Protein backbone atom coordinates (compact mmCIF):
# COMPACT_ATOMS: atom_id res chain seq x y z
CA UNK A 1 0.00 0.00 0.00
CA UNK A 2 1.26 3.50 -0.85
CA UNK A 3 1.00 6.79 1.02
CA UNK A 4 -1.38 9.28 -0.61
CA UNK A 5 0.92 12.21 0.27
CA UNK A 6 4.34 10.96 -0.87
CA UNK A 7 3.75 7.52 -2.42
CA UNK A 8 5.95 6.02 0.32
CA UNK A 9 5.53 2.56 1.76
CA UNK A 10 2.84 2.18 4.43
CA UNK A 11 3.33 -0.02 7.47
CA UNK A 12 0.50 -1.46 9.57
CA UNK A 13 0.40 0.02 13.08
CA UNK A 14 -1.91 -0.29 16.05
CA UNK A 15 -3.29 3.15 16.94
CA UNK A 16 -4.47 3.87 20.46
CA UNK A 17 -6.55 6.71 21.87
CA UNK A 18 -7.41 7.25 25.51
CA UNK A 19 -10.56 5.36 26.45
CA UNK A 20 -10.93 3.88 22.96
CA UNK A 21 -10.20 0.36 21.75
CA UNK A 22 -7.05 0.02 19.62
CA UNK A 23 -7.54 0.46 15.87
CA UNK A 24 -5.42 -1.00 13.10
CA UNK A 25 -4.08 1.79 10.90
CA UNK A 26 -1.28 2.67 8.51
CA UNK A 27 1.86 4.77 8.97
CA UNK A 28 4.04 6.01 6.11
CA UNK A 29 7.70 5.03 6.51
CA UNK A 30 8.87 8.15 4.63
CA UNK A 31 6.72 11.09 5.78
CA UNK A 32 5.09 9.63 8.90
CA UNK A 33 1.52 10.27 7.76
CA UNK A 34 -0.91 8.10 9.71
CA UNK A 35 -4.33 6.97 8.64
CA UNK A 36 -7.00 4.48 9.62
CA UNK A 37 -10.45 3.57 8.28
CA UNK A 38 -12.09 6.20 10.52
CA UNK A 39 -9.80 8.98 9.26
CA UNK A 40 -10.44 7.96 5.65
CA UNK A 41 -14.21 7.95 6.22
CA UNK A 42 -14.05 11.46 7.73
CA UNK A 43 -11.93 12.73 4.82
CA UNK A 44 -14.37 11.29 2.30
CA UNK A 45 -17.35 12.95 3.99
CA UNK A 46 -15.64 16.37 4.23
CA UNK A 47 -13.95 16.56 0.83
CA UNK A 48 -16.43 18.87 -0.82
CA UNK A 49 -15.06 20.78 -3.80
CA UNK A 50 -13.85 24.22 -2.79
CA UNK A 51 -15.83 27.02 -4.37
CA UNK A 52 -13.54 29.37 -6.22
CA UNK A 53 -13.66 32.96 -4.99
CA UNK A 54 -11.81 34.25 -8.04
CA UNK A 55 -13.53 37.06 -9.90
CA UNK A 56 -14.26 36.28 -13.53
CA UNK A 57 -12.65 38.59 -16.10
CA UNK A 58 -14.97 41.54 -16.74
CA UNK A 59 -17.10 40.91 -13.66
CA UNK A 60 -17.81 43.79 -11.33
CA UNK A 61 -16.31 43.81 -7.83
CA UNK A 62 -18.86 42.75 -5.20
CA UNK A 63 -19.06 46.30 -3.71
CA UNK A 64 -20.00 47.80 -7.10
CA UNK A 65 -22.31 44.95 -8.09
CA UNK A 66 -24.67 45.90 -5.26
CA UNK A 67 -24.98 49.54 -6.42
CA UNK A 68 -25.20 48.79 -10.16
CA UNK A 69 -27.44 45.74 -10.12
CA UNK A 70 -29.48 46.60 -7.05
CA UNK A 71 -30.14 44.38 -4.12
CA UNK A 72 -31.36 40.91 -5.01
ZN1 LIG B 1 4.08 9.49 3.05
Which sign, positive or negative, has the C-alpha torsion 5, 6, 7, 9? negative
R_g (Cα) of the chain, nearest Å: 22
* CA–centroid distance, residue 2 to ligand 1 (Å): 8
CATH number assigned to the domain covering 1-46? 2.20.25
* CA–centroid distance, residue 35 to ligand 1 (Å): 10
- Domain regions of the chain by residue span: 1-46
Predicted model pTM: 0.56
Distance CA 30, CA 28 (A): 5
**For residue 66, what pLDDT is reported?**
67
**SS3 category, 47:** coil
What's the rounded mean pLDDT across residues 4-8?
93
* CA–centroid distance, residue 21 to ligand 1 (Å): 25
**For residue 11, what pLDDT is reported?**
97
Distance CA 37, CA 52 (A): 30
pLDDT tens digits along 17-70: 889 899 999 999 999 999 998 888 888 888 677 777 777 888 887 777 766 666
* CA–centroid distance, residue 30 to ligand 1 (Å): 5
* CA–centroid distance, residue 36 to ligand 1 (Å): 14
> Helices in 1-72 by DSSP H: which ranges?
37-46, 62-69
Amino acid sequence: MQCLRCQGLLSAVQMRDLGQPPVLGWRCLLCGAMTDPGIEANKASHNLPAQSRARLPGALPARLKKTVCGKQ
